[in-house]
């Protein structure tokens, strides 16, 4: 039985509907079957909870002044600037003082890796997920020239890539979602990289075709720039054309959103935002399809896996599909242009055979993402 230090910037037990929270909770629960696990995470206040083999310690983030100082120093150290908003001096001190008490250190994302000093000599496992540097570079290219964030995303893409390379060389094992992204890595020992998917607990066929279905759904944190951009583009460029053909059609969005964005987006008739919800199922009746229309995409989009797990027909951008393996991507539908996206949604709305076939392919493809398969790979890393 090992003692594992599990470091995450978010509390795995916060019940937040977020891919990293869902994944970290699943990993912690699995590790508890054979090990003692101590979770270190950021929280609203400092507290410690214990139960059997599990201890959860939450620490407050650095205050705003310290965060601004961290950003300033990060510029001179060429370290990712956004780390400053996920930093806690207390976490770093706790780990430096106590890491010797553990057999394995597990970092959930590179944001957690920032708390490790160069002098820690323990087995280190990193769940990187996807390459943030590519995400930031894609965002830089997608933002308009006059947007002041454009240059920040460019600088950040360079800093994050530098830190990713450091993590990949330092960690004993690193998990990545996409085989394609593993292929991008250079001067890295490939035997230290493990491809491990995001997982799905249950597969339920809740989709029922009906010519009167009227909902197009989107799942994701709208505070996250790629999701925000995807919704904004759909509402501005696609949805009005669909609305002119089907007057009762609606666009339903599920996920965290800033009040300012919510008020702005919901000015469009037929657009509804539900915020963070715990149970999606009551909202899945009368659905035409799910969207994963991101122009900025790395790794595996968990929203697409969610649609597939319910048998909901889905439409993705080419960028989203490219990060899946060929076996899975061959069963997915993607668009090449705005007009193509509009035509596919109309086809899902009007063509029963096309919709049902897409639903069946989704249910077949999602079997490769069951948690039981994912955790078998995960388990080998700790054996």
User: Max Cα separation, the chain?
Assistant: 64
Distance separating alpha carbons of residues 215 and 333, to the nearest angstrom: 18
79-105: buried (b, 16+ CB within 10 Å) or exposed (e) per residue?
bbbbbbebbbebbbebbeeebeebebb
Residue 173 sits in the same domain as residue 36? yes
- Would residue 209 count as lying in a domain? no
Residue 46 sits in the same domain as residue 172? yes
Distance separating alpha carbons of residues 19 and 296, to the nearest angstrom: 17
Weakest mean pLDDT among 5-14, 173-182, 303-312 = 173-182
What is the per-residue pLDDT for 132?
86
Q: Could you tell me the two tokens for 234?
A: 């759909």
What is the per-residue pLDDT for 328?
56
Q: Could you tell me the two tokens for 222?
A: 């709208």
pTM of the model: 0.84
- Would residue 378 count as lying in a domain? no
Q: Cβ distance 316 to 341 under 8 Å?
A: no
Instruction: Give the distance, in angstroms, between the CA of residue 297 and the centroid of all CA atoms in the same chain.
Output: 10
Q: Other CB atoms closer than 10 Å to residue 348's CB: what's the count?
A: 24
Per-residue pLDDT, averaged over 258-263, amounts to 82
Residue 22 sits in the same domain as residue 104? yes
Residue 26 sits in the same domain as residue 175? yes
Residue 88 sits in the same domain as residue 150? yes
Domain boundary among 196, 224, 257: 196
- Would residue 60 count as lying in a domain? yes
pLDDT band at residue 331 using 50, 70 and 90 as cut-offs: low
What is the per-residue pLDDT for 104?
93
Residue 324 sits in the same domain as residue 192? no
Per-residue pLDDT, averaged over 302-330, amounts to 81
What is the per-residue pLDDT for 288?
96
Distance separating alpha carbons of residues 376 and 270, to the nearest angstrom: 44
Per-residue pLDDT, averaged over 240-262, amounts to 90
- Would residue 377 count as lying in a domain? no
What is the per-residue pLDDT for 299?
65
- Would residue 333 count as lying in a domain? yes
Name the residue with higher pLDDT: 296 or 357.
357
Per-residue pLDDT, averaged over 172-191, amounts to 81
Residue 11 sits in the same domain as residue 112? yes
Is the pLDDT confidence value at 42 over 80?
A: yes
Weakest mean pLDDT among 68-72, 73-77, 260-264, 329-333 = 329-333
Sheet of 123-129: strands edge to edge?
Answer: 47-51, 54-60, 36-43, 3-8, 104-108, 123-129, 173-176, 193-195
What is the per-residue pLDDT for 351?
95
Which range marks the domain in which residue 265 is found?
A: 215-369
Residue 221 sits in the same domain as residue 190? no
- Would residue 374 count as lying in a domain? no
Which of 118, 122, 94 has the alpha carbon at shortest distance from 106? Answer: 122
Residue 157 sits in the same domain as residue 236? no
The domain spanning residue 58 has which CATH number? 3.40.50.2000
Distance separating alpha carbons of residues 213 and 250, to the nearest angstrom: 10
What is the per-residue pLDDT for 125?
94
- Would residue 207 count as lying in a domain? no
Domain boundary among 196, 227, 254: 196
Domain boundary among 196, 226, 249: 196
- Would residue 272 count as lying in a domain? yes
Q: Could you tell me the two tokens for 118?
A: 């160069």
Residue 223 sits in the same domain as residue 333? yes
Q: Could you tell me the two tokens for 14?
A: 């916060």
Q: Which residue stretches of the chain are H helix? A: 19-31, 64-77, 89-98, 110-113, 132-142, 149-170, 179-184, 225-233, 239-245, 259-265, 302-309, 318-321, 326-329, 338-350, 352-365, 371-382
Residue 144 sits in the same domain as residue 271? no
Distance separating alpha carbons of residues 32 and 1, to the nearest angstrom: 10
What is the domain count for the chain?
Answer: 2
What is the per-residue pLDDT for 90?
92
Is the pLDDT confidence value at 383 over 80?
A: no
**Interacting residues of 232 by C-beta distance below 8 A, sequence separation 6+:** 265
pLDDT band at residue 330 using 50, 70 and 90 as cut-offs: low
Name the residue with higher pLDDT: 212 or 148.
212
Q: Cβ distance 290 to 307 under 8 Å?
A: yes
Per-residue pLDDT, averaged over 260-271, amounts to 82
Per-residue pLDDT, averaged over 335-345, amounts to 93
Residue 257 sits in the same domain as residue 333? yes
Per-residue pLDDT, averaged over 308-329, amounts to 80
**Interacting residues of 147 by C-beta distance below 8 A, sequence separation 6+:** none
Per-residue pLDDT, averaged over 140-161, amounts to 89
């Amino acid at each position: 039985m090992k003692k594992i230090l599990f470091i995450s910037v978010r509390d795995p037990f916060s019940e937040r509907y977020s891919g990293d929270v869902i994944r970290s909770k699943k990993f912690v629960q699995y590790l508890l079957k054979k090990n003692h696990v101590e979770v270190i995470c950021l929280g609203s206040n400092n507290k410690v909870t214990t139960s059997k083999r599990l201890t959860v310690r939450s620490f407050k983030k650095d205050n705003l002044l310290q965060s601004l100082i961290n950003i300033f120093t990060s510029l001179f150290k060429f370290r990712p600037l956004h780390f400053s908003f996920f930093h806690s001096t207390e976490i770093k001190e706790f780990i430096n003082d106590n890491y010797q008490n553990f057999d394995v250190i597990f970092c959930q994302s590179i944001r957690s890796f920032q708390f490790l000093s160069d002098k820690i000599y323990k087995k280190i496992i990193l769940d990187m997920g996807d390459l943030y540097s590519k995400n930031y570079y894609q965002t830089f290219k997608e933002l308009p020239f006059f947007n002041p964030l454009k240059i920040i995303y460019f600088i950040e893409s360079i800093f994050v890539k530098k830190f990713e390379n450091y993590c990949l060389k330092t960690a004993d094992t690193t998990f990545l979602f996409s085989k394609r992204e593993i292929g991008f890595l250079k001067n890295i020992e490939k035997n230290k990289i493990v491809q491990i998917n995001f997982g799905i607990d249950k597969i339920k066929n809740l989709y029922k075709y009906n010519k009167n279905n009227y909902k197009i759904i989107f799942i994701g944190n709208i505070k996250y720039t790629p999701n925000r951009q995807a919704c904004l583009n759909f509402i501005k460029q696609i949805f009005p054309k669909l609305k002119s053909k089907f007057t009762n059609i609606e666009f339903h969005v599920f996920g965290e959103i800033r009040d300012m964005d919510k008020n702005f987006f919901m000015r469009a008739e037929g657009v509804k935002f539900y915020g963070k919800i715990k149970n999606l199922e009551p909202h899945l009746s009368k659905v035409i399809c799910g969207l994963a229309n991101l122009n900025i995409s790395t790794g595996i989009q968990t929203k697409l896996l969610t649609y597939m797990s319910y048998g909901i027909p889905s439409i993705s951008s080419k960028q989203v599909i490219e990060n899946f393996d060929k076996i899975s991507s061959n069963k997915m539908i993607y668009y090449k242009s705005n007009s193509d996206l509009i035509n596919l949604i109309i086809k899902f709305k009007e063509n029963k055979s096309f919709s049902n076939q897409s639903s069946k392919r989704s249910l077949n493809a999602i079997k490769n993402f069951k948690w039981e398969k994912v955790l078998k790979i995960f388990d080998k890393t700790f054996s």
